């Protein structure tokens, strides 16, 4: 560096988020649904509670770099962990409450968590995790009243710890490349893989999340992260909301569609984000028109492909769904399907729905390429390839995992395992997971496109497509279809519907009508289960 | 760092802006007004032209860290310098065309510029600069046609250089803390002081500029920077527009109010930023209602305090002025007077105008404090103190200048020289420059407040207040008032108007009616000139 800049270098740490919320927006804050009603906590109070938390953790022996586990719903206390734990230099490790208890314990042991914070309502589940923990020294129960009887022996009370701790604490100056949080990816075969987020990564992600063309979070927003805080940092919304001074609403364990709709109505939510499942489930209720969702401005859906039919159905109700794409390894927000102003000005409503059904443009700060069989694929709207990304909030390796080299290219891009095409406007459209593509007679069939076409049938609630072995074609697609409640549907009806939309050789010969598509812990279709069920390629049980 | 994050660390360099514009928005771009009409250049073309520029500069011997001067209006070619020069590792040094030629030369020599790019229309001015240059090896003339006759001997043609250079160039990987640009502050006594911007600082500033609660620049915008590109990086708009993929419009030398209004109308400008002068001058034209300004969404004004009367006058015409505050040393955007949503919901129109007349909330990424006589001042809306700021796009020292220690505190905050109060909502309101405050009988009088009150009189066009010596009170305020064209105004009329608004002891005994308030090169009131003129405290010439 022959001629250095002469600017200040303040570390990019999450303290920027915490201190901005507390200093400039002390009267805004978080609202959590509890058995006793809605509980409101201001950023002023949260700031003080975070300092008490830091003192309490210090007293319990937690040092910079130590991993602090959470086993909790989306709540204000979880937000305090999101802010207080990283700002004192420790590492928040969000444990996925929906995994098998032994897997949760494996993850906590692998990360060497020293302490775990557990929601009162999750104590029965956690009771199955606790016996397997090998590194955890303290369990802290987050509850409104006194320590509940279900608490394990020796457990501490979150509120007692905070009450006993001093409200004075000087946040340390941290290295921006130090870890602030950890999360493990699940849903893959083999053990979960750990991603270690840095302060720099998550602070930049928060800035990006407040940009007008990404999630656009601002002080006027009321944010409702439906996506769990134990899943990919709740898409970074807790930190972005604090940075912006936006209000934030937490559903805690009240996660049914009616719960969520009621929260949106009562709290006048403007921004929400979650997986498609919740919106699929909510559709009949929303169609009844009994809830007032007029405050909603941006409904971001990600974590799994959003069926076009869902986008259309909500569009008819005046609700615009934006599709986001990313993964635990990408911070997570990597792209967003916000139609460009030039599209708004020229496209029909149907065309715009199609745009919103794509995964969209990479957000500012993320570079994306499609690696086809012959190298980097052109953006021609038809050449398939694996999506590879690069950027400051993209992981560069897994934590202490010898499988890491499989997931990064030699020139340093993350191999996402997603297969996509990119059109001339730069909009990414996922066509499949690399492992879910169906290769029939040497040609690729996109299981996602086939699923979308099937879910476009008015009698279909959900559908998953997997590859089954075939002697002649090597693989053929098989459709697992869930009819809407009260509807009956035949294979012939479905094929007749598909024939008008898809090439003939894509049409599945094998269709199973099932009660429900198995889901992973984070609500994605779990095709592993279906593949095992239909491993021999027949409908025989 | 006991537990490092495991995320990628892509350097935060302006290449992010250039490559994003070229890759994702190749059909958007820049439009410049020229003698031959509007000239449109896409980001696709600009990307290629920047690579040609990098090759041409390399051929001319420019190496990483070398300073590259520009002496130019706001134009597409200047944008190419903004993007191409930093991305190749050199340092763009924007020279202020409005300074005295010898001062320009002093600045270029101090920065050791190796090459200077000059607009054709500025050749006559530059001819007075050139003889004094000691380090410049090449002069490049930016013109549409062949090298004009007014070009100095040995000058090169920008277009010829680009035409001859290869369009292939691999942008180097730069250190994010390397310098990308330089600018000198002017208007102070003594020699100008140099600020050296880093890539990291300006890239983060661009991200911030795209956040909804700051300038909110997005792909749907058509940005018109009225603020010159030779002044504080045109408030970072060129880089933010590229990052967002927004269109950008340049007025070049056509900077009169009618020129600007006509550009807003014809290009459907949505976002504009500049000093108050242009909007004071444009008001009569806008009031006539002959131009269509309906595309304007955000009019940011900064560089000097915006009179409340101006905000009211434009509000009556449906144009909302947002006041921004910052300085060459702060990137420049440090705060913005965007009323909060909670204010929008509860305040009257008059109250909101008053909010917009403040300097507003610090933008995300900037910390601000008010240092009073007794230490850090409370945010009580009445305690005065010097504004001190800290953040990643705030300078930490001047370039090679022994006066630097005066401008930073021992704990590392920039001393801005501005005096302000902060209210309980965190909104900053400048009351003066430290050196412009009037200390009368041991109490402070804000020259800015007094000027605003005077400019609120319907017959007043402009007013500047300075301190004059007084035997009894030590200092008294003196008002220098410019009546509107065709109006006559007496001291008695003005005092009668002020008596209803201000404390009696603030009322000036000495009022000079003058033809115009002297301005600095960047359009701010130049009180130095008035102080010299009235140094003895009388109206005698």
User: Domain end: A149, A183, A198, which one?
Assistant: A198
Name the residue facing B392 among A3, A10, A213 (closest C-beta).
A10
Per the structure, the count of domains in chain A is 3
Tokens standing for residue A245? 């001074």
B210 and B313 both lie in a single domain: no
Q: How far is A455 from chain B (nearest CA, A)?
A: 31
A172 DSSP assignment: P
The reply to whether A42 belongs to the active site is no
| Residue pLDDT, tens place only, B313-338 | 999 999 999 999 999 999 999 999 99
Q: A213–B210: do the CB atoms touch at under 8 Å?
A: yes
Same domain, A423 and A453: no
Residue of chain B nearest A26, judged by CA positions: B425
Q: Show residues of chain A in contact with B5, CB under 8 Å.
A: 177-180, 196-201
CB contact under 8 A, A5 and B390: no
CA B218 to chain CA mean position, Å: 20
How large is the average pLDDT for residues A435-443?
80
Q: Which domain covers residue A44, as residue numbers?
A: 11-198
- Non-local (6+) Cβ contacts of A363 within 8 A are A208, A211, A213, A214, A333, A334, A335, A336
Peptide bond into A194 cis (omega under 30): no
| The CA-based dihedral angle spanning residues B73, B94, B247, B258, taken in that order and rounded to the nearest 10 degrees | -30
d(C-alpha A88, C-alpha A80), whole Å? 12
Query: pLDDT grade, residue A189 (50/70/90)?
Result: low
- Least reliable range by pLDDT among B68-72, B142-146, B220-224, B376-380: B142-146
Q: What is the side-by-side strand order in the sheet with A474-483?
A: A460-470, A474-483, A510-513
pLDDT tens, residue by residue, A88-105: 999 999 999 988 899 999
Listed in sequence order, the residues at least 6 apart from B275 whose beta carbon sits closer than 8 Å to its beta carbon are B226, B227, B301, B302, B303, B304, B522, B523, B524
Judge whether residue B541 has pLDDT over 70: no
Q: Which residues lie closer than 8 Å to B378 by C-beta, 6 or more apart?
A: none
d(CA B360, CA B322): 9
Is A212 close to B200, i.e. CB distance below 8 A?
A: no
pTM here? Answer: 0.90
SS3 category, B186: coil
The CATH number of the domain where A382 resides is what?
3.40.50.12780
pLDDT > 90 in chain A, percent: 82
Give the pLDDT band of residue A291 (cuts 50, 70, 90).
Answer: very high
Q: What is the pLDDT of residue A432?
A: 78
- Whether residue A356 is contained in a domain is answered as yes
Return d(Cα B239, Cα B74) in angstroms, integer: 13
User: A365: which chain B residues are within 8 Å (Cβ-Cβ)?
Assistant: 16, 207
CB-CB under 8 Å, A195 with B6: yes
The continuous run of DSSP H or E covering A162 comes out as helix A158-164
The length of chain A is: 541
Interface touch B207/A212, C-beta < 8 Å: no
Both tokens of residue A264? 């949106």
For residues B313 and B239, membership in a common domain is answered with no
Binned at pLDDT 50, 70 and 90, residue B75 comes out as very high
Q: Is A114 a catalytic residue?
A: no
State which residue of chain A sits closest to B14, comparing Cα positions.
A365
A185 is catalytic: yes
Q: Is residue B36 part of a domain?
A: yes
What is the band of B407 on the pLDDT scale with cuts at 50, 70, 90?
Answer: very high
SS3 content of chain A, % helix, strand, coil (to 5): 35, 25, 40
Q: Which of A8, A175, A426 sits opposite B1 (nearest CB)?
A: A175
Q: Which of A64, A66, A218 lies at the smallest CB-CB distance from B213?
A: A218
pLDDT score recorded for residue B374 = 86
Model confidence at A187: pLDDT above 60:
no
The neighbour count for residue A156, using CB atoms within 10 Å, is: 17
- Alpha helices (H) in B289-407, listed in sequence order: 308-316, 341-346, 349-356
The whole-number pLDDT of residue A188 equals: 55
If one compares B434 and B470, the residue with the highest pLDDT of the two is: B470
- In angstroms, rounded to a whole number, what is the distance separating the alpha carbons of residues A219 and B212? 9
Do residues A80 and A53 touch, judged by C-beta distance below 8 A?
A: yes
Residue % of chain B over a pLDDT of 90: 82
pLDDT for B514 beyond 70: yes
What pLDDT score was predicted for residue A154? Answer: 94
Measured over the CA atoms of residue A281, residue A284, residue A285 and residue A287, the dihedral's sign is positive
Residue B329, in any domain of the structure: yes
Task: Find chain B residues with C-beta within 8 A of A24's C-beta.
Answer: 361-362, 426
CB contact under 8 A, A212 and B212: yes
Kindly indicate the confidence band of residue B420, based on its pLDDT and cuts at 50, 70 and 90: very high
Closest CA to A377 of A361, A364, A388: A388
How far is the CA of B144 from the CAs of A197, B160, B306, B458, in angstroms?
A: 50, 10, 37, 45
Q: Which pLDDT band, with edges at 50, 70 and 90, does A414 fall under?
A: very high
Is the pLDDT assigned to residue B168 strictly greater than 90?
Answer: yes
The CB density around residue A138, as the number of other CB atoms within 10 Å, is 17
Could you confirm whether A346 is annotated as catalytic?
Answer: no
Both ends of chain B: CA-CA distance in Å? 67
**Residues B414 and B450 placed together within one structural domain of the fold:** no
Instruction: Please list every residue in chain A whose beta carbon sits closer than 8 Å to the beta carbon of residue B19.
Output: 367
| CA-based nearest residue to B96, from B106, B84, B82, B86 | B106
Please tell me the least confidently modeled range out of A82-86, A120-124, B482-486. Answer: B482-486
pLDDT of residue A213: 98
Tell me what ipTM this predicted complex has. 0.90
Q: Where are any strands of DSSP class E within B222-365?
A: 222-225, 247-250, 271-274, 298-301, 321-326, 333-336, 361-362
Distance CA A343, CA A355 (A): 9
Residue B368: predicted pLDDT = 97
| Residue A461's CATH number | 3.30.300.30
For range A174-191, the mean pLDDT:
87
Number of A to B CB contacts under 8 A, please give it.
202
8 Å CB contact of A362 and B24: yes
Q: A65 and B1 in contact by Cβ < 8 A?
A: yes
Of B197, B210, B390, the CB nearest to A364: B210
- Burial of A68 (C-beta count, 10 Å sphere; 0-12/13-18/19+): buried
Q: Which of B253, B279, B307 is the last residue of a domain?
A: B253
B240 and B106 in a common domain: yes
Given a cut of 60, whether residue B418 has pLDDT beyond it is yes
Mean pLDDT score, B138-147: 94
Which stretch of A125-139, A361-375, A470-484, B241-255 has the lowest confidence by average pLDDT?
A470-484
* A330 three-state secondary structure: helix
For residue A248, being part of any structural domain is answered with no
Q: CA–CA separation, A463 vs A494, rounded Å?
A: 12
Domain contains A236: no
Residue A120, pLDDT score: 96
CB contact at 8 A, B199 and B178:
yes
Among candidates A341, A396, A414 on the partner chain, residue whose Cβ is nearest the Cβ of B219: A341
Which residue(s) pair with B272 in the sheet? Answer: B224, B299
- What pLDDT sits at residue B188? 56
Place of tokens 């990408």: A330
Q: Which token pair is B6? A: 């495991």
Nearest-CA distance from B179 to chain A in Å?
A: 4
Same domain, B357 and B273: yes
- Whether residue A527 is predicted with pLDDT greater than 90 in this model: the reply is no
Highest mean pLDDT among A148-152, A275-279, B11-15: B11-15
Q: What is the pLDDT of residues A43-79, one digit of tens each?
A: 999 999 999 999 999 999 999 999 999 999 999 999 9
- B359 and B502, same domain (yes or no): no
Residue A136 has pLDDT above 60, yes or no: yes
- Between A209-223, B3-17, B185-199, B472-486, the lowest mean confidence (pLDDT) is in B185-199
Nearest-angstrom CA–CA distance, B23 and B280: 40
* A275, B226, B265, B267, B294 from B290: Cα distances, Å: 51, 21, 10, 16, 12
Mutation for testing the A interface, residue in B2, B3, B7, B240 having most A CBs under 10 Å = B7
The answer to whether residue A466 is domain-embedded is yes
**Cα angle for residues B268, B272, B276 (degrees, 5° grid):** 130
Put residue A426 in one of left, alpha, beta given phi > 0 → left and psi -120 to 50 → alpha.
left
| Cα-Cα-Cα-Cα dihedral sign, residues A450, A456, A459, A460 | positive
Mean pLDDT, chain B, integer:
94
Is B326 a domain residue? yes
- What pLDDT sits at residue A354? 94
Contact B2 A364 (CB under 8 A): no
Question: Same structural domain for residues A456 and A430?
Answer: no
For residue B502, the model assigns a pLDDT of 87
Beta carbons of A5 and B178 less than 8 Å apart: yes
Q: pLDDT averaged over chain A?
A: 94
Rounded Cα–Cα distance for residues A377 and A421 (Å): 8
Distance CA A215, CA B211 (A): 10
A221-279 pLDDT per residue, tens: 999 999 999 999 999 999 999 999 999 999 999 999 999 999 999 999 999 999 888 89
- Confidence check: pLDDT of B427 > 80: yes
Statement to judge: residues B362 and B283 lie in one domain = yes
Q: What is the pLDDT of residue A169?
A: 98
Q: How far apart are alpha carbons B36 and B34 in whole angstroms?
A: 5
- Pick the last residue of a domain from B412, B435, B458: B435
Q: Mark whether A304 and A165 lie in a shared domain.
A: no
pLDDT at B475: 87
Residue predicted with more confidence, B531 or B22:
B22
B176 and B292 fall within a common domain: no
Active-site entry in B120, B329, B462, B475: B329
Specify whether A426 is located in the same domain as A455.
no
Residue B189: pLDDT over 70: no
Which chain B positions have a beta carbon within 8 Å of A2's beta carbon?
63-65
Residues β-bridged to residue A511 = A479
Q: Tell me whether residue B455 is in a domain.
A: yes
How does residue B187 score in pLDDT terms, banded at 50, 70 and 90? low
């Amino acid at each position: 560096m022959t001629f250095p800049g002469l600017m200040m270098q303040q570390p990019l740490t999450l303290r920027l988020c915490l201190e901005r919320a507390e200093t400039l927006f002390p009267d805004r804050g978080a609202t959590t649904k509890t058995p006793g009603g809605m509980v409101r906590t201001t950023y002023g109070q949260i700031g003080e509670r975070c300092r008490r938390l830091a003192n309490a953790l210090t007293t319990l022996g937690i040092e910079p770099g130590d991993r602090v586990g959470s086993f909790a719903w989306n709540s204000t206390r979880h937000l305090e962990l999101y802010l207080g734990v990283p700002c004192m230099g420790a590492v928040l490790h969000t444990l996925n409450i929906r995994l098998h208890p032994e897997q949760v314990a494996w993850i906590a042991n692998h990360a060497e968590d020293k302490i775990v914070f557990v929601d009162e309502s999750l104590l029965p589940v956690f009771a199955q995790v606790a016996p397997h923990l090998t590194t955890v020294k303290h369990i802290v129960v987050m509850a409104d009243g006194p320590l509940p009887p279900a608490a394990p022996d020796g457990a501490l009370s979150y509120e007692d710890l905070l009450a006993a701790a001093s409200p004075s604490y000087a946040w340390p100056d941290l290295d921006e490349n130090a870890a602030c949080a950890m999360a493990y990816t699940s849903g893959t075969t083999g053990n979960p893989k750990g991603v270690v987020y840095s302060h720099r990564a998550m602070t930049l992600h928060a800035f990006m999340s407040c940009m007008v063309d990404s999630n656009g979070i601002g002080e006027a927003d009321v944010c409702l992260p439906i996506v769990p805080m134990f899943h990919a940092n709740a898409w970074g919304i807790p930190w972005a909301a604090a940075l912006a001074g936006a209000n934030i609403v937490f559903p805690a364990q009240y996660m049914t569609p009616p719960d969520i709709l009621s929260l949106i109505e009562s709290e006048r939510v403007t921004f929400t984000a979650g997986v498609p499942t919740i919106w699929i489930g909510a559709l009949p209720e929303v169609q009844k028109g009994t809830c007032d969702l007029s405050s909603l401005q941006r409904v971001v859906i990600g974590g799994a492909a959003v069926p076009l039919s869902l986008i259309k159905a909500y569009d008819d109700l005046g609700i615009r769904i934006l599709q986001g794409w990313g993964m635990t390894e990408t911070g997570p927000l990597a792209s967003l399907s916000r139609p460009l102003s030039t599209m708004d000005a020229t496209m029909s409503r149907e065309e715009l729905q199609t745009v919103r059904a794509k995964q969209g443009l990479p957000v500012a700060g993320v570079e994306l390429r499609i690696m086809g069989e012959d190298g980097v694929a052109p953006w021609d709207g038809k050449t398939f390839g694996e999506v590879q990304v690069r950027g400051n909030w993209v992981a560069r390796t897994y934590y202490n995992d010898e499988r890491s080299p499989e997931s990064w290219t030699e020139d340093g891009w993350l191999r996402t395992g997603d297969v996509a095409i990119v059109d001339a406007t730069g909009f990414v459209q996922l066509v499949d997971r690399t492992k879910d593509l169906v290769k029939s007679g040497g040609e690729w069939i996109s299981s996602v496109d086939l699923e979308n076409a099937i879910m476009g049938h008015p009698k279909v609630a959900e559908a998953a497509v997997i590859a089954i072995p075939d002697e002649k074609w090597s693989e053929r697609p098989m459709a697992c279809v869930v009819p809407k409640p009260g509807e009956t549907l035949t294979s012939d009806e479905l094929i007749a519907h598909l024939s008008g939309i898809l090439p003939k050789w894509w049409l599945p010969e094998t269709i199973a009508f099932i009660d429900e598509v198995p889901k992973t812990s984070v609500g994605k279709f779990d095709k592993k289960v279906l593949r095992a069920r239909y491993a021999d390629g027949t409908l025989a049980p």
